Structure 1
Amino acid sequence: MANIRLVALDMDGTLLNDRQEVSPRNAAAIRRALDAGVIVCFATGRGVQNVLPYAEQLGMSTPMITVNGGEIWHRPHDLYKRTAMDAADVLRLRRLALDHGVWYWAYATDGVYNRERWVEPEEDVQRKVWLKFGYYEENVRLLEQIRATAESWGGFEISNSSPVNIELNPSGVSKGAALLELCRLLGIDPSETAAAGDSLNDLSMIRAAGLGAAMGGAQQAVKEAAGIVLPGNNEDGIAHLIEQYVLGG
């Protein structure tokens, strides 16, 4: 296995425990990696506003991938690239949610909008910079119907961050594509990277990385794609990855 120079970490269900915390052992392992010159990079579906507090907590000034690759950051507060979603697509996806009566949310650069807090007046939708759209529905059959409709329209990268949601980015936008872009930017070969995650929005980067790692609680498709399966997010799985596979024990 190549020497690992960059580690890309999903957050929810991966780095963070179920209390949305970075455990002391995970935090210590990340700091050890950073001190050793390894680039540790958040690669998350979250918007940047919900990532920055963790970067500050861990003292990370490294690149970040947010909203499933919709934004790539040189470092916190220093944007490298943003890929926006067309406002017309956002309105179309929202109409699909309303037609089926399901919960929805959408990330814009100025915050998150959802079924309870939407843009008013609606004409202002065109004035915002949109990044990602999502649906939440525990009726899996209904969720599959929505996914099939969105797929039939084309133009979207469709994934999830949980078995009961769907996340949509513009076609070609993914964590994997963003990881490869970061590698080009930093002069790192993809074989020198490791990536860890638990959901379908992590599949592309797990496949792109030299070492793809699935969490113990990951969706089955993620485990099948990964080279290794780690302990779960409540069991310091990221510390295990860094200690055993990145720093070598």
Structure 2
Amino acid sequence: MTKYKLIALDMDGTLLNEQSEISAENAEWVQRALDAGITVSFSTGRGFASALPFAEQLKLTTPMITVNGGEVWTQPHVLYKRTELSPLYVQQLHELAKQHPEVWFWAYTTSEIYNKERWFDASENYDSFNWLKFGYYTEDDRARELILAEVQSWGGLEITNSSLQNIELNPLGISKASALKDLCEWMGIEMSQVVAAGDSLNDIAAIREAGLGVAMGNAQDAVKEAADVVTLTNDKHGVAELIKRYVL
């Protein structure tokens, strides 16, 4: 019998292949884990609305961690905990984005996503919304380094990424690891009974603190260094491999 009670899976670059699909192999081994009585949870930077169709595809009624830990759900549509990002920070982050016209940006609220092409109406203000996360994307390394240095100088923000080209910002202390601790408390289990898998900086805290931290074969180098084991890539059904090899 496995000692693990919860498998927390990142989505993009982990459970999903490069076509943003769940392979038949991954789906089969997720089901095998569920059949063995193990809870399988998404642990993603995505918002709830974009994660939900994949949970429905796998027929999951299990917990979900969304927006890098900003929201914890005990099952789809049942919110357990939400930590909002101060509108003051969102205003500062937005103003910083506008200083770099080549940089794409986006921000999650509890109900929708705003971005560079579609920002909120001038009749509203930052305080009108319940913010969760802000992000920047650029292939210009210099611009990204300047933005990163600026937001690091402020303090008060959890700074990660979900790809080498982006920066993601949550309230300080909010991460997939903090969300997993909340889930463990709710489930009555220990972090040592958790398997956490991912490929990017927003997965590192969870990978370090879980009983088994798994980096994907396609993960950023820092993630591989933080992990206990490295599985196959997301295109080679690395999630199926990790469940088969380390859990069941």
Fold in common (TM above 0.5): yes
What code does the residue aligned with 1:64 have?
M
- Does 2:166 correspond to 1:202? no
TM-score scaled by length of structure 2? 0.98
Residue type of the alignment partner of 2:43: A
Partner of 1:114: 115
- The question of whether the paired residues in 2 share the 8 Å contact of 1:2 and 1:210 is answered with no
| CA distance in structure 2 between the aligned counterparts of 1:150 and 1:69, rounded to whole angstroms | 19
Q: Deviations over 1:99-152 (max 9, x none)?
A: 111110000111110000000026343111100000001111220110110011
Cα RMSD after superposing both structures = 1.1
- Give 5+ residue unaligned stretches, structure 1: none
How far apart are residue 27 of structure 1 and its match?
A: 0.2
- Distance of 2:73 and 2:46 partners within structure 1: 13
Aligned to 1:63: 63
Equivalent in the alignment of 1:33 = 33
SS at match of 2:54: helix
Contact persistence 1:212–1:227 (CA under 8 A):
yes
Letter paired with 1:153: W
Please say if 1:94 is aligned against 2:94. Answer: yes
The equivalences for 1:1-249 within 5 A come to: 3-101=3-101, 102-121=103-122, 123-247=124-248
Tell me how far 1:2 sits from its aligned partner. Answer: 6.9
**CA distance in structure 2 between the partners assigned to 1:81 and 1:30 by the alignment:** 25
Alpha-carbon distance in 2 for matches of 1:121, 1:230:
48
Report if aligned partners of 1:71, 1:81 keep a CA contact under 8 Å in 2: yes
Per-residue CA distance 1:43-93 (angstroms, 9 max, x = gap)? 000000001101111010001100000000010000000000111111110
Answer yes or no: is the 8 Å Cα contact 1:96–1:146 preserved in 2: yes
Q: Are the counterparts in 2 of residues 30 and 242 from structure 1 also a CA contact under 8 Å?
A: yes
SS where residue 3 of structure 1 aligns?
coil
**Aligned equivalents of 2:149 and 2:17: distance in 1?**
32
Structure 2 segments unaligned to the other structure (5+ residues):
none
Q: Distance in 1 between matches of 2:210 and 2:4?
A: 10
Q: Distance in 2 between matches of 1:152 and 1:2?
A: 44
Asked if the contact 2:2/2:247 (under 8 Å) is kept, the reply is no
Conserved 8 A contact 2:30-2:240:
yes
Aligned residues: 247
Cα distance in 2 for partners of 1:83, 1:227 equals: 29
What is the CA deviation profile of residues 222-246 of structure 1, one whole-angstrom value per residue up to 9, with x for unaligned ones?
0000010010000000000111111
**Separation in structure 2 between the aligned mates of residue 145 and residue 128 of structure 1, nearest angstrom:** 27
**Cα distance in 1, alignment partners of residues 55 and 218 from structure 2:** 24
